[in-house]
Structure 1
């Protein structure tokens, strides 16, 4: 593989209301579909032999179907978002009332969310997917997935071990991040690119 493109899914109602989604299967809302249509126009020139991978959660699948109509999607559970366990469906304020919230937030990289998983576990499964793709014959792999998954994939590729890395990289809905591989070198071409939203009048700050 020479190129890896990582795309976050479009907006959902739970995103808009600040609710943790994780493994909960929440569909795109109308703005999310508009974002995906804007993305489709931006990526319309994608080479026909590029592989399109996606998380099986509907917000990622629908984004991929709109952005890459008629293309085969390779769905992979390893591209799912973090499983937030008991915190899913709730806002930060609501979760803050739980005695389990503060201890988890203090060390979410190593500590599992109650009934869920840790960011280190997410990184391990995302890295396993990445290793399989790198070992394949494809020149360009595209993954439509989730913010936490993209954060962990970027950390893995760039060799970043800092557990607070995810808090330092915000990824907007339908943002594009792209890496190029040259031998043992990894080059960052772009991260969190949302120019397609600005051009189409879909304000990226609404996510």
Structure 2
């Protein structure tokens, strides 16, 4: 049985994370804490002598700059992949969780209800998002069977990967946290996905924020 292992890392903190502002595809950089978290995460992977075969990252800079900490410490080069981006949150992007229910009450209610067909006005529905993430994981799996893949992405994207690996329904309430700069493991044995461990933040010096972009 060939087991392909994925080490999934969420990007470090941004100012928009701290402000509870929905990012989606908006290309926000890491703040000072986020850069520190990225370095702490990379050092932790180095300390456990992680052996990985390839490094992928979302092309959005908050993920790419998190991956950069790994690139520098492991002397490797990340492969950017736009399909690893966060969900596009349409008209909700740029709004805080306080502003959204006032400015877009109907969309916000639909968003909170996890209506899987709602695209949030020119954004991406949960179903479309799930299809994108699943297709991307399968493609990477086929390219690197039996390998260990290190992958830097986003809170909503990693939550979706958890749902895929655990067979959690797309419209079910969130079951796990995905903190900034957390380390998470899933695997595929050629037949099925499995969640191996989740939301490890033991390498971080301070508390880490959970994801908002669902």
Instruction: Return the TM-score normalized by structure 2.
Output: 0.87
The gaps in structure 2 that reach 5 residues or longer are none
Task: Mark the CA change 1:109 to 1:206 in structure 2 (over 3 Å): closer, same or farther.
Answer: closer
Distance 2:79 2:15 in 1: 26
- Is 1:163 paired with 2:135? no
Q: Secondary structure at the match of 1:180?
A: strand
- Is 1:65 paired with 2:73? no
Q: 1:17 aligns with which of 16, 19, 29?
A: 19
The worse-fitting range, judged by mean Cα deviation, of 17-26 and 102-111 is 102-111
Contact 1:54-1:145 within 8 A present in 2 as well: yes
- Is 1:181 paired with 2:183? no
Contact 1:34-1:202 within 8 A present in 2 as well: no
Task: Mark the CA change 1:29 to 1:134 in structure 2 (over 3 Å): closer, same or farther.
Answer: same
Task: Mark the CA change 1:12 to 1:205 in structure 2 (over 3 Å): closer, same or farther.
Answer: closer
Distance 1:148 1:51 in 2: 22
Contact 2:178-2:210 within 8 A present in 1 as well: no
- Is 1:80 paired with 2:85? yes
Structure 2 counterparts to residues 29-178 of structure 1, below 5 A: 29-44=31-46, 45-47=49-51, 50-69=53-72, 70-97=75-102, 98-99=104-105, 100-138=107-145, 139-165=147-173, 167-178=174-185
Q: Deviations over 1:97-133 (max 9, x none)?
A: 1243223432342211112111211111111111111
What's the CA shift for 1:196? 0.4
The worse-fitting range, judged by mean Cα deviation, of 185-194 and 116-125 is 185-194
Distance 2:36 2:193 in 1: 32
Contact 2:166-2:195 within 8 A present in 1 as well: no
Instruction: Return the TM-score normalized by structure 1.
Output: 0.89
What's the CA shift for 1:185? 4.8
What's the CA shift for 1:157? 2.4
What's the CA shift for 1:183? 4.5
What's the CA shift for 1:26? 0.4
Contact 2:180-2:210 within 8 A present in 1 as well: no
What's the CA shift for 1:89? 1.3
Task: Mark the CA change 1:180 to 1:107 in structure 2 (over 3 Å): closer, same or farther.
Answer: closer
What's the CA shift for 1:189? 2.3
Distance 1:154 1:176 in 2: 12
